[in-house]
């Protein structure tokens, strides 16, 4: 059994019973291995939780990249960078707010989940920012902006914005409708991404 399969079992178990109430035996049983194998392959329960959340983040990010249209390498008819940015923003927002693991953990293990999404979220933010950075570079290239010196900071800021919107969904800005999301993207996200 691969480490990824073990981490998938951990994600499924955390969604079922929460982080605090999940034991290594629970995860091992779900994965069809013994506790010793689980610890030897993945480390302590803290490491298992961190790696499981990172695994889930990778899965969500892959799905986001699949759901948003690719960026053509050069200007092309029919491709609107602003619409692509809005689509990416909307898909991302829906994916993180609708994530089953996060929804379950916010009910089962609220305090631990908040710590995981704030104090222990460095690796998740870094992974998210790396993927966003590649998209920022591609979008800028598409519109003829060669600037890349600020891409890491822009991508990190976008990851932090997403984190904030996840943690406080009822606070401003109101992004409940597609027109509201488009207006927010036009005013804030698109200029940041395109460097204009």
User: Could you please report the per-residue DSSP string of 73-134?
Assistant: SS--TT--HHHHHHHHHHHHHHHHHT-HHHHHHHHH-HHHHHHHHTTT-HHHHHHHHHHHHH
* In a domain? residue 185: yes
pLDDT in the model for residue 156: 98
Provide φ and ψ at 16, rounded to 5°: -85, -45
* In a domain? residue 76: yes
* In a domain? residue 10: no
Overall pTM surpassing 0.75 (yes/no): yes
Enclosing domain of residue 167: 51-194
* In a domain? residue 12: no
pLDDT in the model for residue 192: 97
Tens-digit pLDDT profile for residues 17-35: 988 899 999 999 999 999 9
CB under 8 A, 24+ apart: contacts of 169-175: 169/97, 175/93
* In a domain? residue 24: no
* In a domain? residue 96: yes
Tens-digit pLDDT profile for residues 163-194: 999 889 889 999 999 999 999 999 999 999 99
* In a domain? residue 46: no
* In a domain? residue 131: yes
Report how many domains make up the chain: 1
pLDDT in the model for residue 75: 75
pLDDT in the model for residue 160: 96
pLDDT in the model for residue 43: 96
CA 183, distance to chain mean position in Å, is 22
Tens-digit pLDDT profile for residues 56-109: 999 999 999 999 999 997 777 789 999 999 999 999 999 999 988 888 888 888
Average pLDDT of the residues in 136-143: 95
């Amino acid at each position: 059994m691969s480490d990824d399969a073990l981490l998938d079992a951990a994600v499924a178990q955390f969604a079922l019973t929460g982080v605090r109430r999940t034991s290594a035996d629970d995860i091992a049983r779900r994965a069809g291995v013994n506790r010793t194998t689980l610890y030897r392959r993945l480390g302590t329960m803290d490491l298992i939780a961190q790696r499981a959340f990172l695994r889930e983040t990778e899965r969500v990010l892959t799905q986001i990249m699949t759901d948003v249209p690719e960026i053509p390498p050069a200007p092309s008819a029919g491709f609107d960078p602003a619409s692509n940015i809005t689509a990416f923003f909307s898909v991302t927002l829906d994916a993180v707010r609708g994530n089953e693991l996060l929804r379950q953990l916010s009910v089962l293990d609220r305090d631990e989940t908040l710590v995981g999404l704030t104090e222990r979220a460095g690796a998740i933010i870094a992974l998210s920012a790396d993927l966003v950075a590649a998209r920022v570079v591609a979008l800028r290239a598409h519109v003829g902006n060669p600037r890349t010196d600020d891409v890491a900071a822009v991508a990190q800021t976008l990851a932090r914005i997403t984190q904030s919107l996840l943690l406080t969904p009822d606070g401003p800005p109101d992004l409940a409708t597609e027109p509201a999301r488009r207006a927010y993207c036009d005013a804030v996200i698109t200029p940041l991404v395109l460097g204009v």
